[in-house]
Chain A
Amino acid sequence: MPETERKTPEMTDQIRVPEHVVYRRFAAETVVLNLETGQYHGLNGTAGRMFEELDDAGTLGEAAAALAGDLDVPRDQLDRDLRELCASLAERGLVEVGAANGH
């Protein structure tokens, strides 16, 4: 069940890109398509990179760790930005957030 409420996830939360969401990277942005709603969403370069990492990682913290070496921002800001992005994506049904214990 997709998360629809605006709730900022924790770094320990599990993140999953559901099967009804597909995305492709273009030169300057990533286009994310929600197949259930038929809506396209555009992510800029940094957000697109974060989204890809969220798709690969198990938890928000793992995604942040993988991004830390690539993005030239302080770690606390990266964590904050990633949590905000994740909340925004979850609101649109583009990621699903689950607590660390899987519930």
Chain B
Amino acid sequence: MPPTATDSPASAAPAPSLAASYAFGLDLEAGFPLDGLPAGARPEARGEPTRLELSEPGELRRSGAESVTLAEWADQEDSWQLDHHPELGYVLRTDVYGTFAISDDGRRVRCAPPAGGGRGWQHCLRGQVLPFAALLRGFETFHASAVALDGRALAFAGRSTAGKTSVAVNLLLRGAELVTDDVLALEPGVGRPLAHPGAAVVSLRHSEAAVLGGRARPLGSALEDDGEATRMLAPRCRYPLPLAALYVLQRDESSGAGTNGVAIEPIDPPDPRLLLSASFNFVVRSPERLRNQLEVCSRLAAEVPLFRLRSGPRFCAADVAEAVERHARGLEGA
């Protein structure tokens, strides 16, 4: 019996239909409507898709001695527990967003939303579960946002409050397309790693939205609001793009960038620790994954220009975005 607990009225339909999408390098087939993920498969979809299913919560509650807890953490809005179960795979349990089971090969994701639907449970699906599945399918995920400019991807890494999303949003308002917000899936490939589009959603802090005012309108409609940030739909690029540059954001009192200025300098030689620590996933430690992580970081260091982007104490995302656009357009061979 198909569950009906979702945050979308359309998902209450008696017979679930398959929704196709593409994100984080995964070709997705879902038995329920997807929020914040563009409809339609990518034209050159390849291989077996990752299937998303709704499950009854009880189906994912199997535990016992064979289940191993890999990580537990809590933030202001929720508490999380990640287990590994021999049959279910990786099981993510949250108080607010429900429970998700990701098969070991990343090809099947079972979702048990919280009772009553729980607005915004797909935020967890987009922001945590699908990147996890992507990792299991051979993509390497980084804590970074990215935009597409002139057919190339520019990525922004840095600490949680460094301004990755703010810079990306301001570049969108200057005409760039969204690649991803907060999680970047990279594929090694040949030459420069390919940056795969994530969800078509940006999480805009209320303080940033207040600064932008009416200028934020081109982003699209609001999808959800968690009290601190509004998750807004944003035009997202459809295809993977070669990563042309990675900017590591750093707010620096003594940046030499001036009070509210910006300084962009090459990171040369590239520091492998910087790249390894920018991972979005420190849980999966299988030999295959670790090997892939090192390979992707090595490729990044060898093929992609890395820059430290220092901004003064009066960080202004619009100014930073303007500086990045100017800098990126001047990159040789990028």
Do A35 and B269 have beta carbons less than 8 Å apart? Answer: no
Known A24-B295, A26-B298: A38·B290 in contact at CB below 8 Å: yes
Chain A residues 1 to 58 lying within 8 A of chain B, measured CB to CB, are 20, 22, 24-29, 31, 33, 35-36, 38, 40, 42
What distance in Å separates the Cβ of A20 from its nearest Cβ neighbour in chain B?
7
What distance in Å separates the Cβ of A46 from its nearest Cβ neighbour in chain B?
15
Cross-interface CB contact of A29 among B272, B294, B295, cutoff 8 Å: B272
- Alpha-carbon distance between A88 and B47 when the two chains are bound, in angstroms: 44
Cross-interface CB contact of B269 among A24, A27, A38, cutoff 8 Å: A27
Contacts of A22 in B (CB 8 A): 291, 294
Count of residues in A whose CB is under 8 Å from the partner chain: 15
Do A33 and B272 have beta carbons less than 8 Å apart? Answer: no
What distance in Å separates the Cβ of A36 from its nearest Cβ neighbour in chain B?
8
Known A38-B285, A40-B276: A26·B291 in contact at CB below 8 Å: no
What distance in Å separates the Cβ of A27 from its nearest Cβ neighbour in chain B?
3
- Alpha-carbon distance between A33 and B276 when the two chains are bound, in angstroms: 12
* Inter-chain residue pair count (beta carbon < 8 A): 39
What distance in Å separates the Cβ of B311 from its nearest Cβ neighbour in chain A?
26
At the interface, yes or no: B43 with Cβ under 8 Å from chain A?
no
What distance in Å separates the Cβ of A50 from its nearest Cβ neighbour in chain B?
18
Among residues of B, the one whose C-beta sits closest to the C-beta of A38 is B285
- Alpha-carbon distance between A46 and B61 when the two chains are bound, in angstroms: 53
Contacts of A28 in B (CB 8 A): 269
Do B268 and A24 have beta carbons less than 8 Å apart? Answer: no
- Alpha-carbon distance between A97 and B272 when the two chains are bound, in angstroms: 28
- Alpha-carbon distance between A35 and B289 when the two chains are bound, in angstroms: 10
Cross-interface CB contact of B294 among A27, A31, A36, A42, cutoff 8 Å: A31
Do B290 and A26 have beta carbons less than 8 Å apart? Answer: no
Please list 11 pairs of residues, one from A and one from B, whose beta carbons are closer than 8 Å in the complex, sorted by A's number: A20-B287, A22-B291, A22-B294, A26-B269, A26-B270, A26-B302, A27-B269, A35-B287, A35-B290, A35-B291, A42-B272
Taking A26-B302, A33-B290 as given, write out 8 further A-B residue pairs in contact, using a Cβ cutoff of 8 Å, ordered by the A residue number.
Answer: A22-B291, A22-B294, A24-B297, A26-B269, A27-B268, A28-B269, A31-B294, A35-B290
Task: Name A's B-contacting residues (CB within 8 A).
Answer: 20, 22, 24-29, 31, 33, 35-36, 38, 40, 42
Task: Name B's A-contacting residues (CB within 8 A).
Answer: 268-270, 272-273, 276, 285, 287, 290-291, 294-295, 297-298, 301-302
